[in-house]
Structure 1
């Protein structure tokens, strides 16, 4: 059982803290857990070139390929972003855009049958996805929705917690997620749900 924690933050900060809370809980439950920082990765935006349709992979060469291969191998993802101006970070958006688009065409062709696309099973089908957003005060809803919308269009199973998996931290840019007692408990409960769902899927 393998899970990835993908952090879209451009700094070592609160988003990383919450993701690692989940990963550490899952390690204790027997999972192989890997943490990926996007801040030191080169990930260009999707070019909309449709090269992935013919080649069955993204043709833009950078650090995307390494991360994408790990995404394909994992049973689940914990994907987190700080909220800047009401949105997830650009580098995380670039990763998700390219991952979703190129994964779709790995097993499908650009053609319709009976007036509809017949997608069938896709590379991310029935993998587990858990979104985490972090903000000082507001902007959570739209950023959280961005992550959830990406997961649902790519055939993931979204795992939640006993409250929205959002963290409240970063007043005046401070790194203080460790003070968010309620947020930490929500992340710990999230880990328990991920554990439960993945083990059920594999049983």
Structure 2
């Protein structure tokens, strides 16, 4: 959103095991502006992979390999220092904050003129004038738009998407797919999407990896 040049996301020989058995094996690079899709049946390790990349893999799992963002090896960093943004099935808006408050929360602490950034972000997703609204009064699609802009305003270096459209009405999914992936491409962010939906995959216009055969 701000013209920043983002690095590639490199997944170097990642192997995740459970009870000694390999669950996920992945090696590759996600270029800036590209979305790599990971598909597979329940239990194939999709969510486990996201947890490892984000930095909150449960201790029951054993993982090796390196996660590299540009020239930064982030494998051993805590989640809050990795520079990775997350978009989930649920928008997870803070109920005690207004729409504008949710967006301000995503902005870096010392960024000047936060009000202008928030106003522009709302206009960018067709929600001008919604800043003082209670998130509970928004539709599912509107909440998803606010969650997307909060993510982008936080200036991540890469993005993980965990089936972000699955809770939306069917008629909203195409609209949100276009909105999300066009913004990620425009921002030049390397992204990894986990999904069951082939239409999500088609919307990314990127590569697909199948887990679990």
More strand by share: 2
TM-score bucket of the superposed structures, by smaller chain: 0.3 to 0.5
Tell me the TM-score normalised to structure 2 length. 0.34
More helix by share: 1
| Bigger RCO (CA 8 Å, 6+ sep) | 2
